Structure 1
């Protein structure tokens, strides 16, 4: 199921609707990270000067490294939140090409879509911040750090993508029930998405592919019953 759905999503990449969403989501993601960097810089500026140059330098260096690691870990979440604002454009294009004989999904209203994206971003930020001490320890064990991040963000990403797609076709309660019924399949889909997001350059295209991918996954799970 996963391989076939992913192949269909990749095949449609040249679609004009996909290109437009890519540009807009990248601009939003850059703006988010710029704001985070500015907040970090402002926070460091507000710390009183202790008079120890080497300590101040060490704090600044450690903060920079921490921000870089956090940025790498949160990139999938930020891109996913950004793409959620344009989910309907991608889903509509997928439905037109692959499922013209089926009734199209309902477009999500702007404010619910925005709230859903912000809520998801907030949950991912909170979860990853709570896990930051664990991440710091696992810096000495990179494979474990990578594996934990993959599992945690894979689970979160799968929830967001699937629910946003499912809400186009069913109520929130029904979508939650369906997600729980197929939690294993969906978690694996989320891990695949996050894994692709860690590949340089490819990761800029993955949120769009992932949205189309989840439409196909939903359709196949729905057909399964």
Structure 2
């Protein structure tokens, strides 16, 4: 597992990977700004008009509590972009990864497994569907875990474990689906649930590092290509006729 992580990290800064890296970073930054602005607008509404609506709904007896909530939300609104970038980064990188799945995986396979069967490109619809599902599920899980943040930091542990589980399953299934049907990829992931979760911990640690986490799609996908190969074993007999696999310089 450590060897797979080392290989993924070392290849991230190769020439071909750098081209993908800049595209992934650019798309991530655009999404962060859009989501941050939307979040800031939403929190601002809650801190102003939402306060009146909420008090009218629950009654004047909760006036003090609603005022306190509005004060907290007004502060959060001013930090909307920052909060959105931190809180939603795993979801954003999950979605961004959908666009670069095959580019990343193909480079890893050519560099490290030139004698083996080349994976088949995923239809963009399948990749986007998987990325969107994971992104939405990540937001849902985080919203459920958010109240625990105020309980001695328990929420951060929940966040980390949830991130490991969610990103681990997404990147592994995307890597596996280049060689298997979606049903087979999911079955393999379930059969090796513990290993996939441990691999997900590496990705969760990576995505928790500010700025560096913009490269999560590259690390996560490259890493899981190695993990899938580790589970499947070498299969040089499956090399595609007529296709030459050469290492990337």
Contact 2:171 2:221 in 1 (8 A): yes
Q: What's the offset of the Cα at 1:58?
A: 4.5
SS of corresponding position for 1:104: coil
Does 1:23 pair with 2:22?
A: yes
Q: What's the offset of the Cα at 1:15?
A: 2.3
* Aligned with 2:93 (options 79, 88, 111): 79
Structure with greater contact order relative to length (CA < 8 Å, sep ≥ 6): 1
Q: Distance in 1 between matches of 2:80 and 2:147?
A: 11
Q: Distance in 2 between matches of 1:16 and 1:221?
A: 28
**Counterpart of 1:185?**
195
For these two proteins, the number of residue pairs brought into alignment is: 219
User: What is the CA deviation profile of residues 77-131 of structure 1, one whole-angstrom value per residue up to 9, with x for unaligned ones?
Assistant: 3113202210100111111111111110010112222222112111111111222
Does 1:176 pair with 2:186?
A: yes
**Counterpart of 1:156?**
166
User: What is the CA deviation profile of residues 137-181 of structure 1, one whole-angstrom value per residue up to 9, with x for unaligned ones?
Assistant: 23xx23x33322111110000010001111100011111110011
Q: Distance in 1 between matches of 2:183 and 2:134?
A: 18
Q: TM-score, normalised by structure 1?
A: 0.85
SS of corresponding position for 1:169: coil
Q: Distance in 2 between matches of 1:150 and 1:49?
A: 31
Contact 1:85 1:110 in 2 (8 A): yes
**Counterpart of 2:12?**
13
The 3 A distance-change label for structure 1 pair 105 and 69 is same
Contact 1:21 1:83 in 2 (8 A): no
Q: TM-score, normalised by structure 2?
A: 0.78
Stretches of structure 1 that go unaligned for 5 or more consecutive residues are none
SS of corresponding position for 1:170: coil
Q: Distance in 2 between matches of 1:158 and 1:14?
A: 22
Q: What's the offset of the Cα at 1:63?
A: 4.1
**Counterpart of 1:104?**
118
Q: What's the offset of the Cα at 1:212?
A: 0.8
The 3 A distance-change label for structure 1 pair 33 and 224 is same
Stretches of structure 2 that go unaligned for 5 or more consecutive residues are 53-66, 236-249
RMSD of aligned Cα (Å): 2.7
**Counterpart of 1:114?**
128
Larger Rg over CA atoms? 2
- Which range moved further: 64-73 or 24-33? 64-73
